Structure 1
Amino acid sequence: MTQSVSSTSKQHKAIKFVKTNTQVPLTIPVKAINEQGQEVDKSVACERPLTLYLNWRPIVTLMTLGAKPESLTLGYLKNQGFISDLNLLESVIVDWDVSSAAVITKEVSEDIEQQLSEKTVTSGCGQGTVYGGFLLGLDDIDLPTPSLKQSTIYALLSNISDYNETYKNAGAVHGCGICQDENILAFVEDVGRHNAVDTLAGDMWLEQQSGHDKIFYTTGRLTSEMVIKVAKMGIPVLLSRSGVTQMGLDLAQKMGITIIARAKGRHFLIYHGSETVTFDVKKD
């Protein structure tokens, strides 16, 4: 079994990614019968378990597509409150032979056991559990007031259609993107929308990117968990192809997040933050 070691960006060269057999297929070919009784060649999205370990302590098993396991692991642990200081990270070891991702830190937190005991079963696809540290620090989040144009939203929705490659090929996945104006800076697909957002959160954390001028796009519904994760990323605008839940809306109102849902083509609904949007497109 071969291993290769690489480091992250220049700011954090101390973090080592030990990659063991990390390249896995995102889809597999299958045979299907269409509505006319004909056999056709199709693809289905892969789904595989990934057990996350923190200092060799098992934390959770996620069901994932497996595209970016390192970023998913770090984003999940950060969003759940297990790790807050990037400089304490020592290595990330991913091994698909045993379906595991292990994060080693320079210091061992004494709060891990308490956090693990304070868990809540949720509706999150691909995960379904949040821990005590997940809710910490929400009162300290200070998001900027965004400024959006209706035309920018339309352009972004048009541009996002060029992504969703796995969905177009096989379906059965969610997609999330980090956007700036109408430009899509990063896009991730996974079997669960929370896996996708955690992966993007891990990337932003490693690259020390600011979210103050970004828009977060997701194909999934806007639950309380999604709103909290986007707020922790410092992003003030949440745009979804799906709907929003009552608790998600309540949290967005409290934290000052502009919520735009049911967004597809030239249709969208602003559930909170309509004052941040300039309607600059004339009606037909």
Structure 2
Amino acid sequence: MTDPSSCASSGGPGSLPRLTRARAPLTHVVQVINERGEREDVHIPAERPLTVYVDKRELVTLMTLGAEPELLVLGYLRNQRLVDSVFDIESITVDWEVHSAAVRTHRGIARIEERTASKVVTTGCGQGSVFGGLMDEVDRIALPAATLSQAELYGIVNAIRLKESTYKSAGSVHGCALFRGAELLTFVEDVGRHNAIDTIAGWMWMNGEARAPEPEYGAGQGDALTAQSAGVPASETASANAGGPTPASVHTAMQGADKVFYTTGRLTSEMVIKSAQMGVPIVVSRSGMTQMGHSVAQQLGLCAIGRATNRRFVCYSGADRLILQPELAQTPLTTPQDASEPTAAAAR
């Protein structure tokens, strides 16, 4: 049973939600027989179900590695547009004994049955799912202006290459990361890339800065401006801010305008939409891109870069956001070993 005293934060409405810290073991040792008929121990990634309950109502079961389950649940609720603000959540309690995540909200989720009735199963490891209304919001997302230099792109690829990870020791997981330029802000691994990006969305909501209240605007003007800078539909931001006074000092969730999202997996429509919802206008993958992902990226004006390994990459869309420096493509890596590959035992 998770100890409630391990909660990360506390407070009533207007405070960040209380989160348990129920990180689970990420790998498991099993015995295998190799090509020489020899027995050996290898590490494999953990995979465990986590059933999410919102105000005692069962919502979904996620298959997860268990690295940051509370942030995964928070990001899932955010990316599915089931909650408008991090302050709508009172607490998230994960209990691995019963494989559950109990979410308590302050005021409930309006029309939750209607909003979760239509579900689209997405491609990829573990098969993610998005509720149907999510696809309808693409036209309402306005991404902020941002650019990335080729030098910064190479810095991102190199940072991932050198990152110690479960993938290197056990393989069979996807990794996602958030960068500011070439600076690594956070790195998450899970059995599915959709889980990893949801976890980053939750991390962005919980990590921000205190600032003075915004100046007042007429007719929702301030809400619209904030929504546009974050890649969030303005009507939802307005509804989230309605119904209460603004505190003297408010927590501002991390904005995506100057961020780059990285994933080891394919750039599908789900990944593109979720990145855009987080306000992140540039995505990078060491894999490729699907047709629908490409179509949505072009519609959004999102810069999608794929097959990014060593000094190679292709820009599928939003090339105006990429500052090319082709002379850098001839520069050799400082460390020749490709550290992005798993060990021989993990690759089996």
Counterpart Cα distance in 1 of 2:259 and 2:10 = 21
Question: Is contact 1:151-1:281 (8 Å) kept?
Answer: no
Specify every segment of 5 or more residues in structure 2 that has no aligned partner in the other structure, as ranges: 208-252, 331-348
Q: Which amino acid aligns with 1:183?
A: E
184-193 or 26-35: which moved more?
26-35
Question: Is contact 1:126-1:192 (8 Å) kept?
Answer: yes
Counterpart Cα distance in 1 of 2:174 and 2:78 = 21
> What residue is the counterpart of 1:156 in the other structure?
156
Question: Is contact 1:237-1:259 (8 Å) kept?
Answer: yes
Q: Which amino acid aligns with 1:135?
A: M
TM-score for both structures, normalised by structure 1: 0.93
Please tell me whether residue 269 in structure 1 is matched to residue 270 in structure 2: no
Tell me the CA shift for residue 87 of structure 1: 1.7
Please tell me whether residue 243 in structure 1 is matched to residue 288 in structure 2: yes
The structure-2 alpha-carbon separation of the partners of 1:161 and 1:87, relative to structure 1 and needing over 3 Å to count, comes to same
Q: Percent identity?
A: 47
* 1:67-94 deviation line (CA, Å, top 9, x unaligned): 0000000100111111112222111111
Counterpart Cα distance in 1 of 2:191 and 2:279 = 24
1:16 is aligned, of 15, 18, 21, to: 18
Question: Is contact 2:23-2:69 (8 Å) kept?
Answer: no
> What residue is the counterpart of 1:36 in the other structure?
36
Residue 249 of structure 1 aligns to a residue whose secondary structure is: helix
Tell me the CA shift for residue 116 of structure 1: 1.9
Please tell me whether residue 210 in structure 1 is matched to residue 211 in structure 2: no
Question: Is contact 2:272-2:293 (8 Å) kept?
Answer: yes
171-180 or 26-35: which moved more?
26-35
Q: Which amino acid aligns with 2:47?
A: E
Question: Is contact 2:20-2:70 (8 Å) kept?
Answer: no
Matches within 5 A, 1:1-284: 1=1, 3-5=3-5, 6-8=7-9, 13=15, 15-18=17-20, 22-135=22-135, 137-163=137-163, 165-207=165-207, 208-282=253-327, 284=330
Q: Which amino acid aligns with 1:56?
A: K
Tell me the CA shift for residue 14 of structure 1: 5.1
Tell me the CA shift for residue 2 of structure 1: 5.7
Residue 230 of structure 1 aligns to a residue whose secondary structure is: helix
The structure-2 alpha-carbon separation of the partners of 1:84 and 1:135, relative to structure 1 and needing over 3 Å to count, comes to farther
Residue 52 of structure 2 aligns to a residue whose secondary structure is: strand
Question: Is contact 1:63-1:127 (8 Å) kept?
Answer: no
Specify every segment of 5 or more residues in structure 1 that has no aligned partner in the other structure, as ranges: none
Counterpart Cα distance in 2 of 1:189 and 1:7 = 21
CA RMSD of aligned residues (A): 2.0
Counterpart Cα distance in 1 of 2:275 and 2:10 = 23
Tell me the CA shift for residue 34 of structure 1: 2.7
Question: Is contact 1:8-1:206 (8 Å) kept?
Answer: no
Residue 117 of structure 1 aligns to a residue whose secondary structure is: coil
Residue 227 of structure 1 aligns to a residue whose secondary structure is: helix
* 1:175-225 deviation line (CA, Å, top 9, x unaligned): 000011112110000000000000000010122111100110000101111
Q: Which amino acid aligns with 2:297?
A: A
Counterpart Cα distance in 2 of 1:14 and 1:153 = 33
Q: Which amino acid aligns with 1:92?
A: I
Query: Based on CA coordinates, which of the two structures has the bigger radius of gyration?
Result: 2
Q: Which amino acid aligns with 1:214?
A: K
Question: Is contact 2:10-2:18 (8 Å) kept?
Answer: no
Question: Is contact 1:55-1:102 (8 Å) kept?
Answer: yes
Counterpart Cα distance in 2 of 1:138 and 1:12 = 29
The structure-2 alpha-carbon separation of the partners of 1:92 and 1:2, relative to structure 1 and needing over 3 Å to count, comes to closer
Q: Which amino acid aligns with 1:210?
A: Q
Q: Which amino acid aligns with 2:301?
A: G
Question: Is contact 1:164-1:175 (8 Å) kept?
Answer: no
208-217 or 271-280: which moved more?
271-280
